[in-house]
Structure 1
Amino acid sequence: MSEPSAGDPGALAARLAALPDEQLLAVLVVATAGRENLAPLYEAVTRLLSETGQSGPATGVIPGTDMPPGYGAAADFGSSSQVTGGIGAAVADSAAAGGTAGGYTSSGVPTFGSLRDKVERRIGTAFGTRELDRQTPAGRGAEQQWEAREQAARERLEQIRTSLHEGEGS
């Protein structure tokens, strides 16, 4: 008798049914995280996990895999250095307003607009820093050295070209 394929829903259901409760809850947390339509299931599963004394996926959900330190340590999103009040607050504000707040969607995913703004800010900072560096004595010295090397390289290249053309005339 052959074993059912990995894509067979019955085989997957049988494997999940064989898991202990804590491991099944941990698998469900991972499978439902970030899925807006499954948010009520995710909340129920995380509540059940916390009632069993676990705060995240149990070790052994994937046999032989150790949990990294701090993984799943917090029941909520906690605070972020980039979003005042933390991601959880931004999600709550967003849900109350019916849209996005703080650059995050209601499911806690950054919006494209907020990512674009962040990239543009970083590019602006990089260009500004480069411009300020050029205005310092050390920056001007480095730029002058670069230009002197470029000029020497151009002159040497011209010498090489001239010497090659002289050999062709014979």
Structure 2
Amino acid sequence: MDQSWLVSPVKMFSCRGMLVPALLVLAAVVVADGALLIMSDGLSRMVTLKERGQLCSVHNNKSKIKRMMAKSDSVMVHRISSEELEELMESCTQKASSGQRGFIYPGTKWCGPGNIAKHFDDVGRYGEEDKCCREHDHCPKQLGAGQCRYGICNKSLFTRQVN
């Protein structure tokens, strides 16, 4: 699979030396046929983020979770606290029930495809990360998720800057 479009996630999402939440950075490198598996300790609950089709899924079946983990590259498995997983699951479930596509990282309004901010100064609980994502979103030379321009195609989930 051609992965020449992948950019270092640290370089891509660095903002004045600060990095956006780790899940967002990891999700930026998920390829079309891959999924980022996010879980806390134990195998009872998991969230998957995918680029194609359903972007966010909640899983509660232990045997299914074990099978998915066995098929996944270990770099695509990310462990977070139970509280963070609960927040992620809630956000994922809300997206599915409202029919919205795309995934804005919980606690932010600008970090993900598009934004959910009411105005330019509207930021979430992770204000510094949100400001970084907002700055990135307002870069004049950018490609939205799935856009092609300047002979370059952005195959990722997120807006990217064109240098």
Give TM class, smaller chain: under 0.3
Structure with larger RCO (C-alpha < 8 A, sep 6+): 2
Q: Which has the higher helix share?
A: 1
Q: Which has the larger radius of gyration?
A: 1
